[in-house]
Structures are given as structure tokens and as C-alpha cells.
Amino acid sequence: MEATLRQTWAFLFRGYHITRRYIGWVVVFNFYALVTSATVALIGVAAQDYQLTLKLVVGALLWNYLSWLYQEISMSIAYERWEGTLEYTFMAPVSRAVHLLGVSLFSLLNSVVTSVIVLIGLMLFTDLNLRGVNFFGVLVVLAVSTVAFVGLGLFAAVFPVMSAERGAEATHIFQGSLLLVSGVYYDIDVLPRWMQPLSAISPATYTLSACRKLFGVGDSNSTPELLAGAPLSAVTNELLILALMGAILLPLGLWAFVRIEAWAKKTGKLKRTG
């Protein structure tokens, strides 16, 4: 147990050192996340519609958290390849579950920091008042949905293992597809009818639906001075679906990654140049 904890901490700490090394890019990506989120939120401000502004703000916040978590996990193998450490990591006497747990924990911390930065920035750009939000419920929903998104990240992480040239691009295509079908900035109903069923298999759909209720989005009792955040019992259905998705996606993602890793080792796909 102690050895497992130390190995997990080692991967988490390595992520911290990589972040320090590329701190300039980290600042750029966080600035970009803040600017894009503020741009979206200001659409609601320009329309002078508080409910629209609140909906866009919640969508921007949650998407930043979920997409950053997904991206850091899915791109971890691409980062390893760029650093020239992929072969060493995969040949180290460490279980793949421990390796990916460390990567996921660091990605989670990274996502939280980015979300806090975006939240502070949005409060400067809009008249956002968080009084009345069911913060406990939001944290519960995010905790449950995090498991599902870690599983998705593990699934997407196999692409850079399979292809050094196109793997990273495939992870971003998958990420963009999630953004499109999950109703981050609009209702699912506006999607083409043939695309709407795809939203049902995206964890982000249920995370957004639950958190909007907990923020009071769409509730006529919500005002700029006090939001009418719903109780946790109002999002039981979303929580059950997210828990089921997490229970399926996490072990399935780990299984897929281990299988693709074995294939990559046999076919020589771990070489640095692809």
C-alpha cells in the first residue's frame, strides 16, 4: 500500500514539475480559457438577459473543468512522447493503474485551478452573484461526473499510443464532438434531430443539466440578487446516470488502454518518432 501511494505521488509530482517547466504555456492556456469563457458570457450581457448570461456562465465553467480534465488525461501519452519518456514510463515496474491514477489526480488538480481562475475572471466581466447556489450539490455532481470523464480520458489516451502522427488530433476531435452534442451553451433541442440521441451518451449532458438546476438556471424565482438553487434531491436522476456511466467507463477505459499498450509494445509503436 505504501509503495502504491509513493508511486502515485511520484507521477503526480512529475506532472507538477512538467507544469513548472512549461509555465509560459500554462499561462497562455489559462488566459485563453478565461478569454473564451468571458466572450461567451458577454453574449448574455449584450442581450440584457440575466438567465441567458447565467446559463452561459455555468456552461463555460463546467466545460472548462470537464474538458481540461479530459484533455490532460487523454494527452498525457502525447506529452510523454514529446518529452521522450514514453518508453521508459511504459517499461517501468509500475502498474498501469497506478500510473494512470497519478496522471488523473494531477489532471483533476489542474482542472480545479483553471476553473477557479475562470470563475474569478467571469465575476469581473459579469454581474455574477452566487448567492443561493447549492454549492454542496454542485460538488457532489462534479465528483460523480469526474469518474466518468476520467474513463473517457483513458479511452481517448489510446489514440496517441496507436498513432504518433495523428493520435493527438483524434483526441481533440472527440473533445469537440462532446462540446457539440452536450448542450454546453444551448438546449439539446436545437440540435438536428438525428444528432440529439448522441447527447444521451455524453456524461457532460447530465452534468450540465444537474448543475444548471443547482445554480437555479431557468427557475423563475432566480433573480440577480438571489438564485433559486435546487436541492440535491432534484438531480437524483442525473446522479444515477452519471454514477452508472462512471462505473462502466472507468474500468472499460483502463481495460482498453492496457490492451492497446500491449499491442503497441508488440508492434513497436512506442518509439519516440512514431
One pLDDT digit (tens) per residue for the chain, 274 residues: 777 888 888 888 888 888 888 888 888 988 998 999 999 999 999 998 888 999 999 999 999 998 888 888 877 777 777 777 777 777 777 888 888 888 888 888 888 888 899 988 888 888 888 889 999 999 999 999 999 998 998 888 888 877 766 777 788 888 889 999 999 999 899 999 999 999 999 999 999 999 999 999 988 888 888 899 999 999 999 999 999 999 999 999 989 888 888 887 787 766 655 4
Per-residue cell: 59? 456552461
Check if the beta carbon of residue 167 is closer than 8 Å to that of residue 272.
no
As a whole number of angstroms, the longest Cα–Cα distance in the chain is 61
Q: What is the pLDDT of residue 42?
A: 92
Using CA atoms, how far residue 3 sits from 15, 92, 160, 246, 250, in Å, is: 19, 14, 28, 27, 23
Amino acid code (one letter) for 147: V
Dist CA 88 CA 165 (whole Å):
20
Q: Count Cβ atoms within 10 A of the Cβ of residue 132 and give its class: 0-12 exposed, 13-18 middle, 19 or more buried.
A: middle
Dist CA 152 CA 136 (whole Å):
25
The Cα angle at residue 271 between residues 269 and 274, in degrees rounded to 5? 65
Site of grid cell 473564451: 36
Dist CA 166 CA 171 (whole Å):
9
Nearest residue to 32 via CA among 69, 80, 72, 68: 68
Q: What is the pLDDT of residue 271?
A: 62
DSSP state of 228: -
Dist CA 239 CA 232 (whole Å):
9
Q: What is the pLDDT of residue 222?
A: 85
End-to-end distance of the chain based on CA atoms, in angstroms?
Answer: 36
Check if the beta carbon of residue 60 is closer than 8 Å to that of residue 37.
yes
